[in-house]
Structure 1
Amino acid sequence: MVEKYRLPYSSATIRHEMSELELLGYLEKTHTSSGRVPSTQGYRYYVENIMVEKMDEKLELVLREVFSDRAMKIDEVIKRSCDILSQMTNLTSLVLGPEAHTQTLEHIDLFPIDQNQAVAIFITNTGHTENRLFVEELASCCKILNERLSGTPLFEIKAKLNLIKPILAKAIKQYEVVFEAFFNAFLKFASDNYYTSGQNNLLNQPEFADIAKLKQLLGMFENSAIWREIGQDRNALKLTHSDHSSLVWMDDVAIVTSTFNLNNDESGQLMVVGPSRMEYNRVVALMEFMSKAIEKIYGKRRD
């Protein structure tokens, strides 16, 4: 440290100060023979009192180009931003959109393409739409589904579809084919809005060399409910410069969260997951930029 940063102190003084920091809980040894590294308490102090956000200019230009395409759907923009974020930070990123249980199915519209195909569009109470391509005999099916499913919470659709199956069997000749098409489309449409990117980046981090530990963390990415709970952690460190960003530490894993507000009182969250030694100033700056850009175009603008 003395040589690298040209500090005007002796090595003995540096060792003494580091010992004091260790006693205060800001530094720790991961192994008996290892050197001292910042503890969770140390990182927390750095983020609260020392960190200065550093925006990557090259990445900012890339993101501005992404958000300049106003024709892109918000889902596409968020997914693309998530991919870029994981690529530029070499960490794992994920996005949580509005939860399925907060939306209800309002209506299904059917638009024929030719004699054998049609596009069915699902519309929720929040205005979210999704289009799927289906096969013939859908007009009757669409009418039945509208009568039976309109106003149904999305998380209840799967159960109701199974109850409607006998009704479809009486009204449609090839009801099994049509039912399966609608059933699969509804499942995807009603599923939780959740997307991850860069999970393989964890393999490059020495903190995750332990296979059991890595397996446990990767398993967490299969359950969006875990990340929603983390995103709502009341004990998370709320960054002083923003009402929308927070930090959570789990052992030597750090999770940075940035919330964005959309129209219809919906919200989503961007998250970055990586080792505790990540470049917080860079990661936080990028996530703040992305959240504000998403809100500016697709949602409510921050005060």
Structure 2
Amino acid sequence: MTDDRRLDVLRAIVEDYVATQEPVGSRSLLERHQLGVSPATVRNDMAALEEEGYLTQPHTSAGRIPTDKGYRMFVDRLATVKALSTAERRAIETFLTGAVDVDDVVQRSVKVLAQLTNQVAIVQYPSLTRSTVRHIELVSLEGARVLLVVITSSGRVEQRIVELVETPSDDLMSDMRSRITRATVGERLPEASLRLADMIETFQANDRPIVTSIVTTLSHTFTNERSDERIAVGGTANLARFGSDFDTSIKPVLEAIEEQVVLLKLLGEATSGLTVRIGSETGHESLMSTTVVSSAYGSDDLALATLGTVGPTRMDYPATMAAVGAVARYVGRTLADN
């Protein structure tokens, strides 16, 4: 499609159909948009777009509506991501600023994203395997016990109490704290676990039972937590507003949303920037009438996880893409600041 005029016609049809949910005819198209051409030219352009698979005519006497291919062209070539209003930006920032921990950030993100888009919002918990160690603390407790505190770059705080065979001396505690910090801070969790394992043999033989207990517990904390398999979902009731947009029934869509594996797969495709999967591109039969808009969140050089929305293919793509991208940026910033 190299004809700019036909692209203008396609853009206008997508925008009108999203706004009205009614098939778009040539007459209404000319009334709403300054296309600068005759009605016959518009009809010819619409017929050509239909022949090329970008539009379809649901009824013989009706106007046209976009196909999945038409929406894809709109997203790839025609859509300009809308700038969020000052009120919307302030709402995201205010809502996330009060979060007290990672769980709170995720739950707040789901709520604000569902409110902004009026769609189903999905937020994947930050992956510990992609996080780095920000801080480790060892605290002596009564009864030969030590409290381990691990803070990751994703803002997650993990605490473990280790029961030891004997009470470690202050010098040994200081030595372990110093060496463990040097070996792990700034490292991704899997690499930090490997570096800890190599450390045990560097301690004196009589201290190794205590060191082994500490290191084993830390390594287990680093490698055994699969937070990236957890997601939060909100705004499912929003889909009821779009019941007529789904081919047969909303029930298969709701059932697919309940399948966490499906959502994790779709979210996992967003490794950087915005990803838009339209209709059959979702790869799931129950989601053929939906679009998934997703984005990774985290720092510039390290994506911690993903978030996104599920809604009907007849959605306001520029606004949805803007909201998903903005919430992803705020979540990444919030976690970095915690």
Report the TM-score, using the length of structure 2 for normalisation. 0.58
Structure 1: gaps of 5 or more residues: 113-119, 132-138, 158-188
SS at match of 1:20: helix
CA distance in 2, matches of 1:262, 1:89: 24
Structure 2: gaps of 5 or more residues: 1-28, 165-212, 280-287
CA distance in 1, matches of 2:141, 2:256: 40
- Does 1:53 find its partner at 2:81? yes
* Superposed displacement of residue 40, structure 1: 1.3
Within a 5 Å distance, the mapping from 1:57-206 to structure 2 comes to 57=85, 58-69=87-98, 72-99=100-127, 128-129=156-157, 143=163, 151-152=219-220, 192-205=229-242, 206=244
Structure 1 residues 297, 150: CA separation in 2 closer, same or farther (over 3 Å shift)? closer
Please state which structure has a larger fraction of its residues in helix: 2
* Superposed displacement of residue 265, structure 1: 5.3
CA distance in 2, matches of 1:75, 1:263: 22
- Does 1:207 find its partner at 2:235? no
User: One-letter code of the match for 2:312?
Assistant: P
* Superposed displacement of residue 197, structure 1: 0.7
User: 1:258 maps to what in 2?
Assistant: 295
Larger radius of gyration: 2
SS at match of 2:229: coil
Which one of the candidate residues 268, 274, 291 is aligned to 2:311?
A: 274
CA distance in 1, matches of 2:70, 2:228: 39
Structure 1 residues 216, 122: CA separation in 2 closer, same or farther (over 3 Å shift)? farther
CA distance in 2, matches of 1:6, 1:266: 43
Percent sequence identity over aligned pairs: 22
Contact 1:270 1:291 in 2 (8 A): yes
User: One-letter code of the match for 1:217?
Assistant: V
Report the TM-score, using the length of structure 1 for normalisation. 0.64
* Superposed displacement of residue 130, structure 1: 5.9
Structure 1 residues 263, 248: CA separation in 2 closer, same or farther (over 3 Å shift)? closer
User: 2:31 maps to what in 1?
Assistant: 3
Structure 1 residues 268, 191: CA separation in 2 closer, same or farther (over 3 Å shift)? closer
* Superposed displacement of residue 124, structure 1: 8.5
Contact 1:110 1:121 in 2 (8 A): no
Total equivalences in the alignment: 241
Contact 2:107 2:232 in 1 (8 A): yes
Contact 2:299 2:333 in 1 (8 A): no
Contact 1:154 1:190 in 2 (8 A): no
Structure 1 residues 296, 84: CA separation in 2 closer, same or farther (over 3 Å shift)? closer
* Superposed displacement of residue 85, structure 1: 1.6
Which one of the candidate residues 258, 269, 275 is aligned to 1:222?
A: 258
Deviations along 1:243-288, whole A, 9 cap, x unmatched? 4211112233110011012699561111111111211111111121
CA distance in 2, matches of 1:229, 1:91: 19
Q: What's the C-alpha RMSD, in Å, of the aligned pairs? A: 3.9
Structure 1 residues 29, 252: CA separation in 2 closer, same or farther (over 3 Å shift)? farther
* Superposed displacement of residue 122, structure 1: 8.5
- Does 1:231 find its partner at 2:267? yes
User: One-letter code of the match for 1:208?
Assistant: F
